[in-house]
Amino acid sequence: MMKFGKGQYTLKLYRLQSKAPLWLTTFAPADALVMQEEAWNSYPRCKSVIQCPYFTKFRLTIETIHKADNGQSENVHGLRKNELAAREVEVLDIASTASDYWSYIIGRNNIDFSTFQSARTGRGPLLEGWQNSCDPVMTAYKLVTIDAPYWGFGSRLEQALMAGERALFLESHRNSFAWTDEWFGLTVEVMRELEQQSDTSLNEKFGRQCLVES
């Protein structure tokens, strides 16, 4: 079990009907596409648990460990042998782009990291093999577990969610690097204040509910 120190807890509701693939919206009522996310952020460890009030057996868990390496650590989550045997490893490179359905839905920035360089830090560009030559470098190790035990569509739902999470991971981390000059040097307190302002704005715009506790 992942252990946390002092950090931040958030509870969010997402209404995803406009983002869901057509095959899912044809048989799922609108309230089935409302997701509840609980998240515990205690850097360098984070955990998110996403559930759906309509599909009570559904559960998506994301456990993240940030580590100052280039992605070569084998078992940062301390998995048992049977868990390692079932695990599938995917390496996401922020210098790459994707063009699948979920990448289109989530959105993509068009920055070419092979020419991009941060004015404030000098970091970049990210050329081929950058993971082995850039310093500092960090890897976000994400353990994603999906349980959707529903006959007839559970497997398809798991595949869709995994593809969506993959696109979200890639785009959010691409943006994090692309926006280096905007956040570099800010304190954690200032960043959380900005996050709260962003959440408030989104809540007002989309009617989304969000609770943040430190």
| Superfamily of structural domain 8-213 | START domain (3.30.530.20)
Sign of CA dihedral 186, 179, 93, 133: negative
Q: How far is residue 51's CA from residue 57's CA, in Å, rounded to a whole number?
A: 8
Report the pLDDT value the prediction gives residue 204, as an integer from 0 to 100.
59
Q: How far is residue 3's CA from residue 140's CA, in Å, rounded to a whole number?
A: 17
Q: Is cis: bond before 21, omega within 30 of 0?
A: no
Report the pLDDT value the prediction gives residue 93, as an integer from 0 to 100.
95
pTM: 0.86
Sign of CA dihedral 177, 182, 185, 189: negative
Q: What angle do CA 47, 44, 3 make, to 5 degrees?
A: 55
Domain ranges of the chain: 8-213
Report the pLDDT value the prediction gives residue 195, as an integer from 0 to 100.
77
pLDDT averaged over 10-residue windows placed end to end, the chain, 214 residues = 74 78 73 87 94 90 97 96 95 86 74 95 95 94 93 82 89 93 91 76 54 51
Phi-psi region of 144 (alpha: psi -120 to 50; beta: other; left: phi over 0): beta
User: What single-letter amino acid sits at 104?
Assistant: Y
Q: Which helix (H) or strand (E) holds 86?
A: helix 81-86
